[in-house]
Amino acid sequence: MKIKLLFVLFTILFINIQAQDYIFGKVTTEDNNEISDVTVINIRTDERISTNRDGHFMISGRAGDELRFVKNGYERANRRINKENISAPVNVTLMRSPTLIAEVELKKEITGDIKIDSKNLNPPRKVQKLKSDLAVYMKQKSAPSVLAPRAGEFVQPVTKGVFSLGKVKNKWDDMDLLNYLQNALGTAFFEDLKIEKAQIQHFILYILRTGFERKNILKYGYVTEADLNRFKSAVLNRISAYKTP
């Protein structure tokens, strides 16, 4: 009996040591607009994922890891992960990088012919107006709706370590499901279970990553009443293990 008990304790200890935590958060611009398709890299493990259409990301890691955020047109950002980041979202702001365009000046020689020289040295009025209109247009800031997916447009879901050929049919990723469950159940549901508000998303992610079946939910982007009841049942069955040191 003692041998069996020691084996169980050793197994639990080994699982806790080997278990990976998950770091999640959001990437925005200095104007607080979400940025999609930002590459997030864990420097220690070299794991790479991309932010979804709302700028959210989720990557495995632990305290002490360094995350790097990379996207064309923005300055690269690094973030060192501490213990607080494991239970709370990591919010990162990327700054736009300046783009320098080399100026090329084309000089035309004077021929002495007034008609030819007037055309070469004085651009037509239509060209001048076009340049003026372009200058006004380039100064305008792009609205977030420009990059947003159109109605019915397929959006590539974020998956860990999977490369697919052809069209990926999932309409949701885990972050979409996490946000839905948090809103559908409400804060009071988790507070009754003594789960602090800052740890709600971490707890939901724990339930999803410990065997909760969600293949059809992610595929169709829809949660049925039966799915919601399955999640509640999983919460009640695993909350003790979650709170166990």
β 66-70/39-42 pair status: antiparallel
The three-class DSSP label of residue 128 is helix
92 pairs with which residues across the strands? 27
Angle between helices 200-209 and 174-192 (to 10 degrees): 120
At 105-132, the pLDDT tens digits run 556 666 666 666 556 666 667 667 777 7
If you average pLDDT over residues 216-240, what whole number do you get? 92
pLDDT tens per residue across span 18-39: 456 889 899 999 999 999 999 9
Q: How large is the average pLDDT for residues 48-65?
A: 92
Q: Residue 69's beta-bridge partner residues?
A: 40, 77
* Residue 227, pLDDT score: 93
Instruction: Return the structure tokens found at 168.
Output: 């990926």
Q: Is 0.85 surpassed by the pTM of this model?
A: no
Q: Identify the DSSP state of 148.
A: S
Structure-token match 């109605």, residue found: 151
